[in-house]
Amino acid sequence: MSPTEKRHFKLYNQIYKGKGKDFIKLFDFLNKMTVYDSKRVESFFTKEKITRRNIVISYLLDKTLETIDALSGDNLYGSEESVMLSIRKHMVYHRFELYDWAYKELQKAEEIALKHDLLGELLDIYKGMLRVIMAPNSNPEGIEEFSVLVKKRETVAEKWMLNEKIDVIWLKILRGNSEESIKEIRTALNECTDQYNKLAFTTKLNFNLCDFVLNIKQLKLKKANTAIEKNVHLLENNPMHIEFQWDAYLSAWYNLIRSSALIGRIEKGCDFFSQYQLLPKKHKEAFDKIPDFLLISHYYRECLLHTELVIAAEKYNEITAIDKKVQTLINKHPLTPTWVTITNDLLMRLAYGSILIKKYARAHHWINILEAEPNIKNARIYTDLELLKLILYHEEKTVTLLTSLTRSLNRKWNLEPPENLNAMLIIKLMKQLQAKRKQKPLVEIWENACQKALKMRGKYYFILDFSHWLRQKI
């Protein structure tokens, strides 16, 4: 322990008196030792006439770990934290040659780790159990045979290797956008398909997520929808995992709703959204254990989904109510870089929705907030934000601003050709609008812009939301 941790230990445990202070006496004794000596510790218990030796040691260890955790700012929340605490306790018990206590802590950790498929932790647990077995004069109660533990560790190691393989695939998916790299990633993922049933629960979630994103990049949207629906079913059928996989659970629902709307299943998407809104009540026990600050992303995602579905279903009369709800949410949970991807998408859609219902002042309000974002020019939505401003100026008939922005973008992208070819398509599109050309060529240009945007980005971005609007306006 550091000097600060030792000072806090004494401060937090001043309330104990009489025999309750035996663990503090032991703490002071150990603190004075420069090198640990088990014989000197034994003499301490004899001299102080402490009969409940194991209880005093256990209590000291618990209080020591409480102090360290309190000062590190870590809340013991979740399965991983509980398992790691037991592993840490076992290590200290092992050092004091309290093998029965060490083994019991590992058994407790094993039960939690098995329940939640914590592969890395299980490897550490079985390693610790084998270490206890091989320790001199060690024969803990309920100990398993050496061969049984070795087999358990071997099985977990096999699952761990599969998990690592899926993790590598996920990292490649995040960085690979070329047709060649996507093809290689798909081959690697397909090789794991036959072993799907052998995968740990969390690895299955990661496998399906990889499949979802990869299908999005390959424009196989129906297959993407099916892949992410598997994760929803996995977690719904195994509710004991939701408490510790709540973010993956909500993200799976979120992606299921968005992908359902994307493939034209608007009514199904709305039905899924209704279920999504009820999840905190449906799994109240799990959600009550999640700190409020961690649920902020859920509140924003719910508003984002609602806005997207309202626009997709052309229920524009609901946009005003969502606008007010989001403003209240922002007042309560101000926008921060932590949720920037979600909140940027949400504000873009609110601005677009405001244009649809001709509330241009609100559209400007949300655009101004977006433009105040420090890194907005480097954000993936920046091109779409410029397009949104062009459409807003066009709707308001503020010709000066429209012309100025069009010229500015044209000059900027001529001097510095954008990697995103859609930027130039925007310029061509707005020139067509200003020139009041025929409808057919304009629609064709817009359709080409959407298709090229899909091929270039491989993701569903905000620009697709404008296709219906432009067909009506041109």
Kindly tell me the sign of the dihedral angle through the C-alpha atoms of 405, 408, 413, 418. Answer: negative
Say whether pLDDT at 75 is over 50. no
CA quadruple 312, 314, 319, 322: dihedral positive or negative? negative
* pLDDT recorded at residue 429: 62
pLDDT at 465: 41
Query: What confidence category does residue 97 fall into, taking pLDDT thresholds of 50, 70 and 90?
Result: confident
The region, left, alpha or beta by phi > 0 then psi within -120 to 50, assigned to residue 219 is left
Coil, strand or helix at 427: helix
d(CA 330, CA 440): 42
* pLDDT of amino acid 432: 61
With a cut of 80, say whether residue 28 has pLDDT above it. yes
Helix, strand, coil share (%) of the chain residues, nearest 5: 80, 0, 20
pLDDT of residue 5: 62
Which has more pLDDT, 413 or 440? 413
Confidence at 388, pLDDT banded by 50, 70, 90: confident
Q: What is the rounded distance in angstroms from the CA atom of residue 470 to the CA atom of residue 474? A: 6
| Of 125 and 219, the one with more pLDDT | 125
Percentage of the chain modeled with pLDDT above 90: 33
| Average pLDDT, integer, range 268-276 | 94
DSSP result, 229-251: HHHHHHHHH-GGGTTTSHHHHHH
| Cβ contacts of 202 within 8 Å, gap of 6 or more | 116, 117, 119, 163, 245
Give SS3 for 117.
coil
Residue 458's pLDDT is what? 39
Q: Provide the pLDDT for residue 463.
A: 37
**More confident: 80 or 15:** 80
The top-scoring range by mean pLDDT among 5-9, 202-206, 448-452 is 202-206
> Could you please report the per-residue DSSP string of 327-380?
HHHHHHS---GGGHHHHHHHHHHHHHHHHHTT-HHHHHHHHHHHHTSTTGGGST
Whole-model pTM?
0.68
pLDDT of residue 456: 44
pLDDT digits (tens, 9 = 90+) for 43-66: 888 887 777 777 777 777 777 766
Which pLDDT does position 473 carry in this prediction?
Answer: 42
**Eight-state DSSP code of residue 418:** -
pLDDT score of 69: 58
The answer to whether residue 409 scores a pLDDT higher than 80 is: no
114-123, 341-350, 460-469: range with lowest mean pLDDT: 460-469
**Residue 254 banded pLDDT, cuts 50, 70, 90:** very high
CA-based nearest residue to 345, from 394, 311, 305, 296: 305
Q: Residues 127-136: what's their mean pLDDT?
A: 90
